[in-house]
Amino acid sequence: MKLRYSTTSPFARKCLVVAMETGLEDRVEVVITSPWAESDLPKDNPLGKIPALVTDGGEGLFDSPVICEYLDSLHGGVRLLPPEGGKRWSQLRLVALGDGLLDALVAKRVETAMRPEDKRWGNWIERQDKAVARSLDVLEDECTLWGSDFLMGQIAVACALSYADFRFAADGWRTGRPRLAAWFAEIAKRPSMVRSEPKE
Ligand SMILES: N[C@@H](CCC(=O)N[C@@H](CS)C(=O)NCC(=O)O)C(=O)O
């Protein structure tokens, strides 16, 4: 399998963390691809986004939740996305929260780092900040219920918190959120998280 990947993309990182956590890393060839440069990426994902996974059968899969679930179907261990029951729904909800947090952070990044300064829309940035703050507050309340779980939802959340550190350290997401900060401090030590840390 080929994973279209960038070392700065938190969505692509989710897929690599899943591959590492499930023992599939040796089967995944990482192909560094920038979604912002001219490339053949659209043949694997017509949306022109990363991640995209090309299966051994040649099919291009996207987006990150689909790729993560596909990878999760290929190993014989405990599923990172429980196949049924209440825990499946709470994990899917947590994936949506982690991915939504990332959507807001990436939207803010595009607005503040890529859009020309005179074209920036303050209300849009403020809206993303509010979505980020509300989501982090919910995670602060809920993270004590997770125990030692590092399932699909926790992976999405961990990649989002790390991305907040990577791009918006000055925003100080840990302030007022000691439980989430303590959870992340432990999770960030996992080999899959250490080995996939974002870099320019
Ligand atoms: N929902 C998608 C989001 C992927 C995404 O936004 N990727 C960014 C990089 S972090 C990208 O490729 N952006 C290029 C673009 O928006 O055109 C997923 O979960 O994979």
Q: What percent of the chain has pLDDT over 70?
A: 100
Domain segments of the chain as ranges: 2-72, 85-190
pLDDT digits 0-9 by tens, 52-82? 999 999 999 999 999 999 999 999 999 999 9
Pick the CATH number of 2-72 from 3.20.20.60, 3.30.2130.10, 3.40.30.10, 3.40.50.1000: 3.40.30.10
Nearest CA to ligand 1 atom 6: 49
- pLDDT score, position 48: 98
Helix (H, G, I), strand (E, B) or coil at 32: strand
DSSP state of 84: S
51 Cβ below 6 A of ligand 1: yes
Give the separation between CA 68 and CA 109, rounded to whole angstroms.
24
- pLDDT score, position 46: 98
pLDDT digits 0-9 by tens, 105-121? 999 999 999 999 999 99
> What pTM was computed for the model?
0.98
Nearest CA to ligand 1 atom 10: 9
pLDDT digits 0-9 by tens, 9-53? 999 999 999 999 999 999 999 999 999 999 999 999 999 999 999
91 Cβ below 6 A of ligand 1: no
